Amino acid sequence: MTWFRAILVVTIVGVAAFALVEVARTPPTEPQPSPAATPAESPTRVPLPTLAPAAITSRISRETPPPPLRPTPPAQPQVEVIDYGFSPQQLTLHLGASVTWTNDGNDGHDVTGSGPGGEWRSGPLAPSERYTRDFNLTGTYDYICTIHPEMHGRIVVQS
């Protein structure tokens, strides 16, 4: 078995010596510039994979009480004055509410009405003009367009 080890060691030493001689015989070469290193071309940028940002939980936000809930006031009622009609034709309001009429038609109109407290009139409304009126008395208010008397509407004010 000893003679086998001796042959193995001689073989390994011989191969190592041969490799060293070959390396010593090969002349050194100049490094060649790679195509990516030439100054005429810019490198291609490859996006790196990223993870989605994690949710950030603030310590302060958990300690801050939510704001108190406040009821939002109802939107101001609107009536569209379209050519030869009011839309909607009837509104029911609470005492003190205001209504805005907007002339969305192509012709001139007006809003003339009567009810608790007497008569009222908007005056002429050209296309896209508005008229707003407050209703401070309960009751029923009927109104028309005096230019086009077939146009009529009604406001009912409740307490």
Residue 147 to residues 66, 89, 121, 123, 130: CA-CA distances in angstroms? Answer: 54, 17, 12, 11, 16
What average pLDDT score do residues 59-77 get?
Answer: 67
- Three-class DSSP category at 20: helix
Average pLDDT over residues 21-25: 72
Answer whether 0.85 is exceeded by the pTM. Answer: no
* Domains identified in the chain and CATH numbers: 78-158 (2.60.40.420)
Over the stretch 116-144, which tens digit does the pLDDT of each residue have?
A: 999 999 999 999 999 999 999 999 999 99
What are the strands, taking DSSP E only, across 5-151? 78-82, 85-87, 90-94, 98-103, 112-115, 118-121, 130-134, 139-144
- pLDDT for 155 equals 96
- Answer yes or no: are the C-beta atoms of 157 and 133 closer than 8 Å: no
Residue 146 tokens, joined? 């005096």
- Write down the pLDDT at residue 40: 58
Mean pLDDT, to the nearest integer, of 39-45?
Answer: 68
